[in-house]
Amino acid sequence: MADQTIARSINERSILTLLRLRGSLSRAGIARELSLTPATITRLVADMAKNGLVREIGHGPAKAQAREPGRPGVQVALDPRGSYFLGIEIGVGVLRLAIVDFAAQLARSEEHPVPSRASPQDVVRLIGERIHALEADPFFAGRVRAAGVTVPGLVAHGGQVVNLPILGWSQVDLLLLLAKVTPLSVTVENNANAAAFGALYAQPSLPTVCTLFLKLGVGCGGAAVVNGRLLRGAHGTGMEVGHLRVSEQGPRCHCGQSGCLETRVNVAALARAARGRDDLDAAELARLPAEVAAEAKQGNGRSKAAIEHLSHHLGLGLVSLVNLFNPTMIVLGGLMRPLLVMTLPHLREIVADRIIPGTITPDILLSPLDEKECAIGAACLAHHRVFDPASLDVAPSIPRAGLTIA
């Protein structure tokens, strides 16, 4: 009986994943793609439709109708309203929330200010208040299935925040704190990992053989997605690309070292180059990339030089990463987006000119998501736990009526 239950869960998740990637298919089409019998697909789809996870949306092409007697061309698709997944970004001075529907599309987002050095308990208390507000919302009540939370620091397997110097946190069992304010199944992830995963998950057409993601803002976070999965390292704290050493000298990094890539390409580095000081407050730093970009377009020499300085060091970092990972694609996101738009051609030239000869140059593009990319990515990670058959042996059950696939 246990084996049958596991097989059923795997088949259900496989159907849902196929529909998420392909949009809609007939029952016969699903059976062919998954090498399952039509009777099995009919039974599973009927149960999932009863539980509000999938729906019929009409007829497919006439050719398909001709070869599928019995249920000619009726298409099955995910029901976007079947479930919702919450993503929460704990940032510097801000808490961002994003809700994605069952089709992994953004349904709602919100943003709340928090003290830049708020304690873990204070932030978790606000998270609990927002979750309770969602549960009281008639539109989402009872349909938020799981949540993901991101932080801009080291996160070990199991949700332990090892080190988060930007917020002054260290060795925080964030999952334990969150369990006190919500019964939802929650995952905790590094913010760059979440943003990288979300950028690809939200656009299944993008390649995932090996994709690198850099999030440039207050820090410089990095992530790698290999064959659709995040590369985390042995203990979950890998891919700290912002701490690649690019020189022996330079500003002191919050990690305690000098010469880190992060200190050359983050918003504080931009402030030093463009304003001659880096003691701007959080709001000023948030506005700075757009201001410097606008000034450079108007011919301001200092702003142009600041952008060139940033793109030079970022390009050198990308060359090292390409030589190490041989990625198919590099995605750039974060607060620096206004500057990244201007520097993409230069970055592509640096990478093409300086990587090991014979290496195929990866495409370099901007993240398809906006400033909500970390929150959306966290929601996508929670969403993925419902779909991924490989997570069956580790994912806790989701205590919601009608959802039998977790």
pLDDT at 406 over 60: no
Q: Once rounded to an integer, what is the mean pLDDT over residues 220-249?
A: 86
Statement to judge: residues 257 and 315 lie in one domain: yes
Statement to judge: residues 355 and 257 lie in one domain: yes
Statement to judge: residues 260 and 362 lie in one domain: yes
Closest among 323, 399, 1, 373 to 152, alpha carbons compared? 373
Q: Once rounded to an integer, what is the mean pLDDT over residues 278-294?
A: 90
Statement to judge: residues 360 and 215 lie in one domain: yes
> How many structural domains compose the chain?
3
pLDDT at 99 over 50: yes
User: In angstroms, what is the C-alpha Rg of the chain?
Assistant: 23
Mean pLDDT across the chain, nearest whole number?
86
Closest among 3, 69, 5, 2 to 406, alpha carbons compared? 5
Q: 270-274: which pairs have CB atoms within 8 A and are 24 or more residues apart? A: 270/306, 270/310, 270/336, 270/339, 273/302, 273/305, 273/306, 273/309, 273/310, 274/302, 274/303, 274/306
pLDDT at 333 over 80: yes
Statement to judge: residues 210 and 354 lie in one domain: yes
User: Residue 119 is encoded by which pair of tokens?
Assistant: 């304690």
Name the more confident of 390 and 379: 379
pLDDT at 392 over 80: no
Q: Which band of pLDDT confidence, cut at 50, 70 and 90, is reported for residue 4? A: confident
The pLDDT assigned to 390 comes to 60
Statement to judge: residues 193 and 212 lie in one domain: no
Considering 26, 60, 78, which residue would you say is the last residue of a domain? 78
- Spatial contact of 164 and 155, defined as CB atoms under 8 Å apart: no
Statement to judge: residues 242 and 356 lie in one domain: yes
Place of tokens 């440039």: 216
Instruction: Give the whole-angstrom CA distance, residue 286 versus residue 303.
Output: 16
Statement to judge: residues 182 and 208 lie in one domain: no
The pLDDT assigned to 59 comes to 62
pLDDT at 331 over 90: yes
Tell me the CA distances in angstroms from 229 to 103, 239, 259, one per residue in order. 19, 13, 30
Which residue segment(s) compose the domain that 178 sits in?
Answer: 84-197+373-393
Instruction: Give the whole-angstrom CA distance, residue 332 versus residue 348.
Output: 12
Statement to judge: residues 253 and 348 lie in one domain: yes
User: Residue 82 is encoded by which pair of tokens?
Assistant: 């079947």
Residues 207, 211, 216, 221, CA torsion sign: positive
Q: What is the CATH number of the domain that holds 27?
A: 1.10.10.10
| Residue 237 CB coordination number (10 Å) | 17
pLDDT at 271 over 50: yes
Considering 55, 78, 101, which residue would you say is the last residue of a domain? 78
- Pairing mode, strands 210-216 and 220-226: antiparallel
The pLDDT assigned to 234 comes to 86
What tens digit of pLDDT does each residue of 67-85 get? 445 445 689 999 999 899 9
Statement to judge: residues 89 and 189 lie in one domain: yes
Q: Once rounded to an integer, what is the mean pLDDT over residues 331-347?
A: 93
Q: Once rounded to an integer, what is the mean pLDDT over residues 12-30?
A: 89
Name the more confident of 43 and 207: 43
At 1, the amino acid letter reads: M
User: Residue 44 is encoded by which pair of tokens?
Assistant: 């599973």
3-state secondary structure of 146: strand
Query: Where does 152-308 show beta strands of DSSP type E?
Result: 154-155, 160-164, 169-173, 185-190, 210-216, 220-226, 229-230
pLDDT at 328 over 90: yes
Statement to judge: residues 164 and 181 lie in one domain: yes
Instruction: Give the whole-angstrom CA distance, residue 92 versus residue 374.
Output: 13
Q: What is the CATH number of the domain that holds 337?
A: 3.30.420.40
Q: Which band of pLDDT confidence, cut at 50, 70 and 90, is reported for residue 380? A: very high
What tens digit of pLDDT does each residue of 179-193 get? 999 999 999 999 999
Q: Which band of pLDDT confidence, cut at 50, 70 and 90, is reported for residue 391? A: low
Statement to judge: residues 362 and 220 lie in one domain: yes
Q: Once rounded to an integer, what is the mean pLDDT over residues 42-47?
A: 93
pLDDT at 171 over 90: yes
The pLDDT assigned to 369 comes to 83
The pLDDT assigned to 400 comes to 31
The pLDDT assigned to 110 comes to 94
